[in-house]
Chain A
Amino acid sequence: MDAPLVSGPHAHGAVSVSRTMVLVMLALLPATLFGVYLYGWPALNLLLITVLSALVAEGTSLRLAGKPVRPYLLDGSAALTGWLLAMTLPPWAPWWIGAAGSFFAIVVGKQVFGGLGQNLFNPAMVARVALLIAFPVEMTTFITPQPLFSSNAPGFLQGLAISLGSGVQIDMVSSASTLGHVKTELTRGISVHNALAPVYDLLTGFIGYMPGSMGETSALLILAGGIFLLFKRVITWHIPVSMIASLMLLATLFHGINPERYIGPLVHLLSGATLLGAFFIATDLVTSPVTAKGQLLFGAGCGALVFIIRSWAAYPEGMAFAVMLMNALTPLIDHYVRPRVYGRDRKGEPLVYEGKPEPPP
């Protein structure tokens, strides 16, 4: 018989932290594989680098903090942070981008706050924003797809060279992401329509055969992963739906007013980090609100901020900033938005029934 007094329940559902993390990784797998296929060896190298550095950073921090290393390394949260970070990086980014990003994510984004479950901001997004500010060029150099084993694709050794940061060939194939392209063209006075026409069609966007971050381009596969997570109840629909809805609503509105200046809702939906953000980043359990209503608010806020940043700020993509801004509001949302307690009204007073009790229907 085991140790001291334990209250019920004496049974437990088949859930654990590592199971949750593994399910998220499984959901990321299709989009990841597609990214590796699309951008070749360097993309795979990048993924391995971010995951490994995240694990090393986590292990070192835990040791320094005098916490048990094994259970926390095995819970999968650090590996997932590294993985998510890789998904949002340019696929041919050199190794030091990945390593620095992961270290920053784990140490500054997570361990400084007290480790698992304590961080205010999504660690991967903390790292992404830091990288974007520190290395603007590397962080916005995307490549046109070079599918593995296709004639132009870098071989394994060439891939290593790219990952090690010798810029072979990158210039030949580099390209801007859709959103980046539109932003540049707009500043040159070219309308959204004319800017998009030669480089973009929705079907491509849906499948993901285009320049972009490693795991962000395929709307189809990310959606599949997201639905898997919903099905497995790791996340609920509230954040993805409210986020996409608010983004689409604003985009429809402004696109309707001035289609030359504002990108249409479908382009918003299918490019950049919209879907990855809605299903995998904004839904990060630790940094999003815990009540259904709070999550709706949070998602709507993220969507609106993404739209605002993409449309009016200097950056073509706004997911990381938007999510971090809303992360900062999460404690506030959780403080004010709470479920109604059973037997009480919204103000917390016990329910009062008028007159005599009625017979049940």
Chain B
Amino acid sequence: MKLFRITGGVHPDDCKTLTAKHAIETLPLPDLLHVPLQQHIGSPAAPVVRRGEQVLKGQLLAHSQGMISAPVHAPTSGRVMGVGNYPAHHASGLSVPTITLQPDGEDRWANNTAIPIDPFKLPSEEIAARVSAAGIVGMGGATFPAAVKLNLRTRYTLKTLVINGAECEPFLTCDDRLMQEQAADVIDGIRIMAHALGVEKVLIGIENNKPDAQSAMDAAAADYPDISIARLPTRYPMGSEKHLVQTLTGRETPARGLTADIGVVVHNVATALAVHDALRCGRPLVSRVVTVSGSAIRNPKNLRVLVGTPVDDLLNYCGGFTSTPARLISGGPMMGQRLPGTRVPIIKGSSGILALTHEETVHDAVMPCIRCASCVRVCPCGLVPLEMANHARAGDLEGAAGFGLMDCIACGSCAYVCPSNIPLVQYFNYAKGELTARQRAEHKQAETRRLTELRSERMEKQKQAKREALAKRRQAAKAQQQKKAAEADA
């Protein structure tokens, strides 16, 4: 299959051998589960259970609200201990609305789930509705509600479904293992999504550092001529949605647009598996595979974990730390976030928990930029990171935006190669946040101004109307008088 070149990118040491050969193990039931109500992009789900209530596995805990949202289900059977706040799976460490569940140890499925029928006989809307009801979100880390993407067919002409099996982040092997161990189910989920989207063609992109996954998926897709496996060169950020699509189709997604603008929808392999589970077995998304790795972990593993399981449980199961980790990360080392602690729960988007040693992470002193242009060479988005950083640091956010700040995908390639160790992405994230906040403020101001203007306009109109009415009355009165006078004269 013909592939297209993307510009830029880096080749970090992929460190995947730590876990690549470890088959997925199921983590034993934890003592407590903390299930956050917002594990997706969009509005948080609204709880439908109360403290003390007994729930079954897969039973709805909170329903989705609004257009972009996803429901949350009970990961196992047990008792609701409370609906309150708990530290989030997020760098900020802030507490977020969370349902705490005490497992009863029986792990009994609710049978409220829709009776599985052949999904290929279902209309697209029904498939999307079931995916939505199962609480499925993008499991590559973006956590965008999957059903919203399946519904794009109503607004765009879609031709191709691209399945992201690139897994270009170092250390992570959860998708690799899924593709090897459950290739048939993944392919089935992919076919269901393709059916729902009504696309003609499916392209599955898998990087060449996963030859076993490539051949497993090849074998599983052998009977389906419209599904092809693309063997991708190993290069970060191959798994960036827009860059993956370009590699496979040769077309660039327009800036500020969606891949749907060029007829493509992208889903992750783990999402495909979740779709299979939902449509074939009627099971909502309540667990996921997480890679626990890094040199500070005693026995790195790939684990199937219930959503809501505290990170602590995963770490203990993997034998704990060999040494105090220099950094604890959720996701991959390139785009992952720091975790504030080990109490936080696993959520639908957690692909990895990494405990990195001092040697594995960034620690050198920051030096001034020597204009070496490495960052320019590796930026996959054609930006000039050093200039954006200069402007951002000087507080000139518009200047940074002029250099394309908002087109930056925060992939971190630039900071990875910077000899001066400049935390470029940190600057960009800060500047983006500020800029968005400012725009929002400006928007609000403009809105207030518009409303005030509208109001004064309205007032003005009312006054005008009053004046006119008054004038008319006066005229009428005058005319009356004149008439009377004339009559009197006569």
Taking Cβ atoms with an 8 Å cutoff, the residues of A that contact B are 1-2, 5-13, 15-17, 19-20, 71, 75, 77, 115-118, 236, 285-292, 295, 334, 338-344, 350-353, 356-361
Partner pick for B337 among A8, A19, A71, A350, CB 8 A cutoff? A8
Is the CB–CB distance between A17 and B420 below 8 Å? yes
In the docked arrangement, what's the CA distance between A6 and B261, Å?
A: 34
Q: Give 27 pairs: A residue, B residue, CB < 8 Å, sorted on A.
A: A1-B324, A1-B325, A2-B363, A6-B423, A7-B425, A8-B333, A8-B410, A8-B412, A10-B336, A10-B356, A11-B356, A11-B416, A17-B367, A17-B370, A116-B368, A117-B368, A118-B368, A285-B370, A339-B7, A339-B376, A339-B383, A342-B380, A344-B407, A350-B255, A350-B256, A359-B263, A360-B159
Residues of B within 8 A of A116 (CB): 367-368, 370
User: Which B387-426 residues sit within 8 Å CB-CB of chain A?
Assistant: 387, 403-404, 407, 410, 412, 415-421, 423, 425-426
Chain B contact residues, majority secondary structure: loop
Is the CB–CB distance between B365 and A71 below 8 Å? yes
Is the CB–CB distance between B159 and A357 below 8 Å? yes
Residue B29 lies at the interface, judged by CB distance under 8 Å to chain A? no
Given A342-B252, A343-B242, A350-B255, A10:B421 Cβ within 8 A:
no
Residue B220 lies at the interface, judged by CB distance under 8 Å to chain A? no
In the docked arrangement, what's the CA distance between A292 and B261, Å?
A: 30
Is the CB–CB distance between A353 and B262 below 8 Å? yes
Given A19-B419, A350-B257, A351-B254, A357:B370 Cβ within 8 A:
no
Partner pick for A9 among B157, B263, B362, CB 8 A cutoff? B362
Residues of B within 8 A of A339 (CB): 7, 376, 379, 382-384
Is the CB–CB distance between A360 and B201 below 8 Å? yes
Is the CB–CB distance between B362 and A11 below 8 Å? yes
Is the CB–CB distance between B373 and A285 below 8 Å? yes
Residues of A within 8 A of B159 (CB): 357-360
In the docked arrangement, what's the CA distance between A115 and B420, Å?
A: 14
Given A13-B417, A339-B376, A359-B200, A351:B252 Cβ within 8 A:
yes
Interface size class of B (residues with CB under 8 A): 35 or more
Residue B54 lies at the interface, judged by CB distance under 8 Å to chain A? no
Partner pick for A115 among B337, B338, B368, CB 8 A cutoff? B368
Residues of A within 8 A of B254 (CB): 343-344, 350-353
Residue B328 lies at the interface, judged by CB distance under 8 Å to chain A? yes
User: Which B72-109 residues sit within 8 Å CB-CB of chain A?
Assistant: 91
In the docked arrangement, what's the CA distance between A338 and B402, Å?
A: 12
Given A286-B371, A343-B242, A10:B327 Cβ within 8 A:
yes
Residues of A within 8 A of B386 (CB): 290
Least CB separation from A71: chain B residue: B365
Closest CB-CB distance, A281 to chain B, in whole Å?
15
Residues of A within 8 A of B256 (CB): 343, 350
Q: Which of A285, A342, A359 has the most CB of B within 10 A?
A: A342
Given A1-B325, A2-B363, A285-B370, A341:B383 Cβ within 8 A:
yes
Closest CB-CB distance, B75 to chain A, in whole Å?
28
Given A8-B335, A11-B334, A16:B384 Cβ within 8 A:
no
Is the CB–CB distance between A343 and B407 below 8 Å? yes
User: Which B234-250 residues sit within 8 Å CB-CB of chain A?
Assistant: 242, 248-250
Is the CB–CB distance between A13 and B12 below 8 Å? yes
Closest CB-CB distance, A289 to chain B, in whole Å?
8
Closest CB-CB distance, A3 to chain B, in whole Å?
11
Given A10-B356, A339-B376, A344-B255, A356:B429 Cβ within 8 A:
no
Closest CB-CB distance, B343 to chain A, in whole Å?
14
Q: Which of B262, B373, B376 has the most CB of A within 10 A?
A: B373
Least CB separation from A343: chain B residue: B255
Could you give, for residues 426-442 of chain B, a 1 whenever the CB lies within 8 Å of some chain A CB and a 0 otherwise?
A: 10010000000000000
